[in-house]
A and B are shown apart, each in its own frame.
Chain A
């Protein structure tokens, strides 16, 4: 057994058999070899480096931490004892001896060889990451001064030469909600700026062929894609948009609907060339970014008839916000909805332990976390650059449509096959409808 007593070294010094009772100031002057057997004065700055090796009869310090008291020599204090117990050594005596010897030597080694250890750490990390080429080497040839010039302050290069030539177009604040597919990945190490530009060009090209409308999570869409094996050569699916993922050309959205009593979800790529038409039957927003909880909701909240007529909004109106609170009625939940800050959800009464756990995992400070907001959003300069391209594309689109309308019928050598004809007619209809 070990007693828990705190050891005050200076007080004990005074009670030493070799040292008479004196004041602290006298002690400082009388520290000679005669009075005390062996003393290393504690450094005033390093409070935790007590290296006092005082030998006296009454009390002994823990050989490992030298802060706690132990009755016998070379006996560990409670904390060190429990630590030593956990080690993988077989003999306890060996353990204690080894601890007494190794900790002091390790401490000295660490203090003296900090730089060497740092290099060892770095080399071990590099070994783990072997085969990984750092971004600097890969992107070296891409970091041309031209690219930096255009971007401006965001890329961190010299400022543009002629400020007056560039007309500063103000990007609308809701641009990131209307065109989330154009925004790049907020994580900088997952970005490839050249690929982004190439993809953007392809996205504009695709948008010339098809009208990709503005829609949000919670709006009801109808997607027709080309299916060569169907009688109509078309495959149509209607559903509510649960989520929108990925950046650039790979932008995806999932639609959910209940068909003949069976819930079905399909993921569509927005820029897939086999998609012939995307209609927004009901344009609206919800309170959450992800409506995966609709899987655990009663089926009325997900059923949309396939022959649903589009809901027309008055011109100039904003996108309506549906503040519906969806109840979760199923017994088995896919995820722990109570732990996520979901606003469009009406949870049933939960047991106390669940509520406690939800509190533990809650992050109420998130709304004030500015750094998180900074990390998850894209810089305004980059957004401005993207929006410039979009504005230019809109102008080009209008011109393209005018040209295609005025063009004379393109004569073809061979008549179009049935499948391609249907797809061509679809795209023509969509183009003409939007211009009107």
Chain B
């Protein structure tokens, strides 16, 4: 059990007159969540510098008991992004969500790799470490082929 989990997070420069209750931040990746693209493709490099951060528009997830509005995506899930005014599919490569399962890594940033409709990555290199279980899954093998470091 997490001993810090009872109390809520804070920032140094916060508003002191809050009178409403908050939940613990869940770090789930769902619609409108901002994301960091980790490719070396042109779209990725431009999109990270654009006025708006790349955001998730839709999560492709099957066999989900949650409603369509609350679809949550995790490591290895396909996702629709809005980058630089365009729509592009991507795969989540690093997730801040605390899964708390053994042997599954948790990252400090939400990383994402851009992808074609066929599932081929657009870029030629991935600039961040990738979880090792990407090698096991067939649909993620193309990303694992480009990756440099595995965690």
Cα–Cα, bound, A117→B105 (Å)? 54
Closest to B25 in A: A334
B104 on interface, CB distance cutoff 8 Å: yes
A316 on interface, CB distance cutoff 8 Å: no
Within 8 A of A (CB), among B1-30: 1-5, 7-13, 16
What's the count of A-B pairs with C-beta under 8 Å? 94
Cα–Cα, bound, A263→B107 (Å)? 6
Q: Is the CB of A264 within 8 A of B105?
A: yes
Cα–Cα, bound, A335→B129 (Å)? 26
How would residues 155 to 196 of chain A score, 1 for a CB under 8 Å from any chain B CB and 0 otherwise? Answer: 000000000000000000000000000000000000000000
Shortest beta-carbon distance, B140 to chain A, in Å?
11
Could you say which residues of chain A place their CB within 8 Å of the CB of B102? 252, 266-269, 272
How would residues 403 to 431 of chain A score, 1 for a CB under 8 Å from any chain B CB and 0 otherwise? Answer: 00000000000000000000000000000
Within 8 A of A (CB), among B107-127: 107-109, 111, 127
Q: Is the CB of B132 within 8 A of A230?
A: yes
Task: Please classify how large the interface on chain A is, using the bins under 10, 10 to 19, 20 to 34, 35 or more.
Answer: 35 or more
Cα–Cα, bound, A337→B1 (Å)? 17
Could you say which residues of chain A place their CB within 8 Å of the CB of B42? none
Q: Is the CB of A230 within 8 A of B149?
A: no
Closest to B132 in A: A235
Cα–Cα, bound, A309→B54 (Å)? 40
Q: Is the CB of A260 within 8 A of B128?
A: yes
Q: Is the CB of B1 within 8 A of A259?
A: no
Which of B2, B11, B12, B111 sits near A262, CB closer than 8 Å?
A: B111
Which of B7, B106, B151 sits near A259, CB closer than 8 Å?
A: B151
Could you say which residues of chain B place their CB within 8 Å of the CB of A227? 132, 135
How would residues 238 to 253 of chain A score, 1 for a CB under 8 Å from any chain B CB and 0 otherwise? Answer: 0000000100000010
Using CB atoms and an 8 Å cutoff, list the residues of chain A in contact with chain B: 225, 227, 229-230, 235, 237, 245, 252, 259-269, 272, 274, 290, 292, 295, 331-336, 339-340, 348, 350-351, 353-354, 361
Using CB atoms and an 8 Å cutoff, list the residues of chain B in contact with chain A: 1-5, 7-13, 16, 94, 100-109, 111, 127-129, 132, 135-136, 149-151
